[in-house]
Structure 1
Amino acid sequence: MRVLVAGASGVIGSRLVPLLTAVGHDVVALSRGPRRTAVLEASGARVVVADALDRDHLVAAVRQSAPDAVVNLLTAIPADVNPRRLARDFALTNRLRTEGTCNLMEAARAAGVRRIVAQGLSYGYQPGPGLANEDAPLWHDATPRQFVPVLAALESLEEQTVAAGGMILRFGHLYGPGSAYAADGAFTRQVRAGKVPLVGGGHAVFSFTHADDAATAIVAALDRDAAGVLNVVDDDPAPLHSWLPVFAAGLGAPAPKGAPAVLARLAVGGWGVAFMNELRGADNARARLALNWRPRYASWREALPATDTAAAEAA
């Protein structure tokens, strides 16, 4: 199968492209510029340069590539996100998830593509007890202001993809090479510096997804003619107050201290407080059944404290 990967040089894409080629797919990597061309070609992909926000150029590029399937991983998330300015930092990613997805869906239709897989997000569920399955409502009640445009863009991406007969894989907090949790990642640097407290008790429940597990789920989804939404996360959701001390200890960093939500709001804003104290974890039962998929890293405990070591061993 010829698979066009949009966003091929990102955290997931960099693990997906070599996996697709290894299992026998013909990979076309869509890139906004030539900077990553050599790396992508070394992974076995043919590179096509096109901006997803340039409709005419994108339609022409996809039609010329003649893919059988399209994988939409379009993002432009800064390496260091300021929670007080989340809407600003995600502005381009929001455009890619709305305008870019619209252009990509049009290009896919023009090229006769019928199989589409797109990257979603599993921690946009309305806070509540227990783990959220795919029927749970998204966060529309008392949504933190900075998260409103991010969630709206994600909903647009999902609606467009499902309308085109595609599948959305809602990934959890991504870790692995190139992520915020990598040895050189922004979150890791903050933890090493002792700058990540347990806000309001740290009750946010995190469902993690290793980039390699995201890649295997996409490969599994490409083998199935199915549409809809699936949570692709590990088997061990955990509150922040459980996993953050373990992560810090693995880095040799100071143990995280507690911080009242009222005071923390001044530093990280409403979204920062919600991110650390309100997120709801996700249930992966449907993905396991529908895709016959199992995470290689069933728990964040297996690889999160030593992300890059695990990735190097897997490469």
Structure 2
Amino acid sequence: MKVFIAGATGVLGHRLVDSLADRGHEVHGLARDAEGEQIVERYGGIARRGDVLEPGSLDRVIDDDVDVLIHAATAIPDSTKPSDEEWVRNDRVRLDGMTNLLAAAPETLQQVLFPSVVWVVRQPDGSEFDETAAYNPDRATESAAEVEDLLRERATQATFDAAILRCGFFYASDARDTREWGKDLLDGDLPIVGGGLLGRQDGTMSFVHIDDAATAFVAAVEQGASGVYHVVDDRPVAPAAFFETFADLLDAPEPGRVPGWLARFFVGKIAADLLTSEWRTTNEKARQELDWEPTHPTVAEGLQQIVETWQSEGQLVETDTGIEWSGDDVRQADTPGSTA
């Protein structure tokens, strides 16, 4: 099949290019500059120069015989405490980007896939939820819900199938957040954000290693899937368990704690609420209908793989005083998604 990917240079996008090309598909990846074109080509794709916010550029690069379209582009803010203006940019890339991509796509398009996020339907009472749950978005996920609705509406008017893969919280060796967490843990500068007056109450989150998210998309493409799927690992965990496991693998100091109400002043309400809320879901539907299962079923396996990758790449070095970070700053920034 011929697959067109917007966001092809991001930490999810380049994995999709690599995996789909490796399985014999013709993959066209959208890139905004020469560096992005090199990334697409490095992973076996055909680079197409354009931008999801420039409709004219999409008309030139989306071929009439494209079978599958994947909109994996985002502009997730990289600042510690994002402003509303930063979220507006992300909204435009998500929603205007999908609108522009669909307008430029051929009428013979067979399938459109969108990586949403599972916490767009987290429940106010903290109960476990599945693909049928009602929306409960925050400022960061409002546009994800809007894109889901847009895609469903357009699919009823056209001939393509719409597959919405809501992903858990991304982590990987090349993901911006994961690398920053690793460096901060090694420096003893990453406290656990907890609920309650003293920060002793833990929420529960559903994570997914980005490698596993990519294999779910490949499965959805090759099976011509439609509908909504939750792509998460097998065991939701508290952020405290995630960071304590990470610190142990890095031989880093045990992280302390800070209450969510205080963390809001430093990381903002969205991040603090995300880290202290209950949002647990299951991958049962994806397992059954996509014949997919995560290679890293829990964060313990996923974090072990990340630390081993950093060690093999020389980004972690042992010194007389312990393990230190020696890697360069990560360029990409997906949680989940990638640049336009």
Fold-level match, TM-score > 0.5? yes
Which moves more between the two structures, 151-160 or 127-136?
127-136
Correspondence 1:234 to 2:237: no
Preserved CA contact (<8 Å) 2:4 2:28: yes
User: Structure 2: which 5+ runs fail to align?
Assistant: 156-160, 313-340
Structure with the bigger RCO (C-alpha within 8 Å, sep 6+) is 2
Whole-angstrom CA distance in 2 between matches of 1:231 and 1:251: 30
Aligned to 2:90: 93
Matched, 1:56 2:53: no
Whole-angstrom distance in 2 between the partners of 1:311 and 1:154: 32
Q: State the distance in 2 between where 1:241 and 1:42 align.
A: 37
Letter in 1 for 2:17: V
**TM-score, with length taken from structure 2:** 0.81
What is the CA distance between 1:284 and its match in structure 2?
0.9
- Paired position in structure 2 for 1:283: 282
Counterparts of residues 1-315 of structure 1 (less than 5 Å):
1-63=1-63, 66-78=65-77, 80-82=78-80, 84-85=81-82, 87-108=84-105, 110-124=106-120, 125-140=122-137, 147-148=138-139, 150-163=140-153, 164=155, 165-182=161-178, 185-198=179-192, 199-200=194-195, 201=200, 203-307=202-306, 309-310=308-309
The C-alpha deviation readout for 1:43-63, integer Å capped at 9, x for no partner, is 211110111111122123213
Match of 1:143 in 2: none
- Please give the per-residue CA displacement for 1:36-77, whole angstroms capped at 9, x wherever unaligned: 21232122111101111111221232136x311111101123
- Counterparts in 2 of 1:111 and 1:49: CA distance versus 1, 3 Å: farther
CA shift digits 1:255-312 (9 cap, x unpaired): 1212233333333332232122114022111111111111111111102244153589
Shift of residue 8, structure 1, vs aligned partner: 0.8
Quote how far apart the aligned CAs of 1:119 are.
0.7
Which region of structure 1 is more displaced relative to structure 2, 150-159 or 187-196? Answer: 187-196
TM-score (structure 1 length as normaliser): 0.87
The CA distance in 1 between the partners of 2:188 and 2:129, in whole Å, is 31
Partners of 1:118 and 1:270 lie apart in 2 by: 26
TM-superposition CA deviations, 1:77-124 (whole Å, max 9, x none): 34x442x3254443322111110110011122x352121111111122
Task: Give the letter aligned to residue 146 of structure 2.
Answer: S
Cα distance change, pair 21–261 in 1 and its aligned pair in 2 (3 A): closer
C-alpha change, 1:248 and 1:90, in structure 2 (3 Å) is: farther
Q: Secondary structure at the match of 2:208?
A: strand
Which runs of no fewer than 5 residues in structure 1 stay unpaired?
141-146
Would the aligned equivalents of 2:173 and 2:309 in 1 still touch at CA under 8 Å?
no
Structure 1 counterpart SS, 2:136: coil
Contact in 1 for aligned 2:73/2:94 (Cα 8 Å): yes
Asked whether the 8 Å contact 2:3–2:28 carries over to 1, the reply is: yes
Matched letter for residue 126 of structure 1: Q
Supply the distance in 2 between the matched residues of 1:193 and 1:210 (Cα, whole angstroms): 24
- Structure with the larger helix share: 1
Return the letter of the residue paired with 2:206.
Answer: S
CA distance change for structure 1 residues 218 and 208 in 2, over 3 Å: closer, same or farther? same
Where 1:123 maps in the other structure, the secondary structure is helix
* Contact 1:123-1:282 within 8 A present in 2 as well: no
Distance 2:276 2:303 in 1: 20
Aligned-pair CA distance for 1:192: 2.8
SS in structure 2 opposite 1:106?
A: helix
Give me the whole-angstrom Cα distance separating, in 2, the residues matched to 1:88 and 1:188.
Answer: 28
Q: 1:312 to 1:267 in 2, by over 3 A?
A: closer
Rounded to whole Å, the distance in 2 between the matches of 1:242 and 1:310 is 21
The answer (yes or no) to whether the contact 1:123–1:279 under 8 Å persists in 2 is: no
Query: What SS does structure 2 have at the residue aligned with 1:229?
Result: strand
Matched-pair contact (CA < 8 Å) for 2:225–2:290: no
Distance (whole Å) between structure 2 residues aligned to residue 21 and residue 311 of structure 1: 25
The secondary structure found in structure 2 opposite 1:264 is helix
- Provide the identity percentage: 30
Most deviating of 47-56 and 297-306? 297-306
